[in-house]
Chains A and B, each alone.
Chain A
């Protein structure tokens, strides 16, 4: 793992009797990282704590060398962090260029630098032709890109993006994801992308943190999580299913029927060790006609982490479905 951009130790935040964050321990590496979690899991509280807007009940957090949980650092941390809020937000009566340059000046840029920078970032998010229009006339997609532009105004080392594709149509969503992907993969920005849309995180992030009920329930690189913990073997066979299942269970493998002659075997390792399945099949007197490995999707990882099985999830509201 590369050096941690964000390091959190035993972070607790209580609102009265409610523990919004319950002993969070986290090391976020450089690069684009997705923060996943159902509603009420503590994502927003975590972001507020990282910005120094809230004081934790207990624990410590370190963001790029600053301690946002300490009074002395809570303002300094905001000079190295760019925050794109979730909800609609504009400065009353301002055009995009005024909004971005004003916020850049507040962060510490000189008036001249702020204006130059505002033009640059508005160009980057493709709002160059609308920069002098009042922001209240903007569409949702334009407002989202404006929020990204203001977050980039002071060229922060870490971007906190809260649901950047919220409310966007497919075209707007694609544009936003392209920008986030470019920032994370090509421009080397550290990004913490807070989203409930798994496809967005899967596309733009290399690393994922899953938060549930105020606790980190899963974290790791997307490739590690989908390979090591989610590998499934799809097996088709000819022969006695019950005998095969019995032998698999005796061999310590968990299997569930997938079709008349098919089984899903939850495999703890990679497919290179699938010889064991062939041996067990031979002992059970069945012939394997097809064997393939299916990597778990991020959705399965997420659902497992938050304690929802994929089977029951199908009857519930789709957590990872595109809005």
Chain B
């Protein structure tokens, strides 16, 4: 029932439009907000990440506690032996952070895929492109907005927990030694996770732009990863040629991580230059698909 005072008259807008609104930011923010509307997927997807983060934080804390001698100074001989053994396993905090990043990559892929798969596919299915492109947004704005919408979840799934681990390391290290001696680790974490999240986002959006439903895009992303990894493995074994591992996204990123964190390389004998070339081709293909498909979305609107 309507109030008797309700007139439903048209009110002209008295304000003014902003000169340079960050339109892509509005698109991205609304995508993030819509993503978090459904609580159950968020709970299921982020729980392993949260558990992993807590464990990694605890390991770092524990390692520094041992190094600072909190436990080593214990009078008990048995405790001293245990502490030395644990310290030898957990001693290298940076190694822990690196391993944590590698371990969480899969979960972050799943999270970006879940939240990003529908961003373009569902827009097309529901005709949202008709509404977006009737507004003063360019195709780049649209791509940035959707990219931000997907990458934000990747940031929450990978970059933020890794930074949290670094944060714990900084505060628990004796005499701020982590910040003084290993401060570059923080930059390396941002660089590596940012590159990973951006690459996965590109893949997810490219596949999302090719299909008409979120579920199809999700299957497409997982299929692409599984098939490319499988093909890479089979071809490498068949032809005894390490360069086939360049088809495997995870292995490429493992090499990038090893290079960034200056770890000792093991596995296929492929140079970092080749790895970056393979990732460059991957990015090129994704960008080509996205530019063609988003152009089509605009024109169809």
Contact = CB atoms under 8 A, between A and B. Distances in A.
B177 interface: no
A104 to B, nearest CB: 9
Interface stretch (A86-94, A268-276, A292-300): A86-94
A26 interface: no
Contacts of B79: none
A154 B13 CA distance: 7
Given A110-B15, A113-B15, A154-B17, A89 B8 contact: no
Given A90-B126, A106-B23, A106-B137, A124 B34 contact: no
26 contacts: A48-B301, A53-B299, A53-B301, A82-B134, A89-B131, A90-B128, A92-B122, A93-B37, A105-B21, A106-B23, A106-B135, A106-B137, A107-B17, A107-B135, A107-B136, A108-B17, A108-B19, A109-B13, A109-B15, A113-B13, A120-B11, A123-B8, A128-B6, A128-B8, A152-B10, A187-B10
A126 interface: yes
State the main secondary structure of chain B at its contact with A. Answer: loop
A120 B9 CA distance: 9
A83 B128 CA distance: 13
Contacts of B8: 123-124, 126, 128
B11 A124 contact: yes
B34 A92 contact: yes
Contacts of A94: 30, 34
B10 A103 contact: no
Interface residues of A, number: 47
**Interface size range of chain B in the complex:** 35 or more
B10 A124 contact: yes
Contacts of B283: none
B301 A91 contact: no
Which residue among A81, A90, A93, A106 has the maximum number of chain B CB atoms within 10 Å of its CB? Answer: A106
Interface string B128-146: 1111111111100000000
Contact of B17 (A79, A91, A98): A79
Contact of A155 (B2, B13, B21): B13
A126 B17 CA distance: 25
Given A102-B30, A106-B21, A136-B126, 10 more contacts: A53-B133, A75-B138, A78-B136, A88-B126, A88-B127, A89-B128, A89-B129, A98-B33, A106-B27, A110-B18
Interface of B: 2, 6, 8-13, 15, 17-19, 21, 23, 26-27, 30, 33-34, 37, 118, 122-123, 126-138, 298-299, 301
A121 to B, nearest CB: 8
B34 A89 contact: no
A23 interface: no
Contacts of B299: 48, 53-54
A167 to B, nearest CB: 14
A34 B23 CA distance: 32
A286 interface: no
Contacts of A150: 131
Interface in A178-219: 182-183, 186-187
B132 A155 contact: no
A117 interface: yes
Nearest to B17: A108
A109 B37 CA distance: 24
Contacts of A75: 136-138
Contacts of B123: 91-92
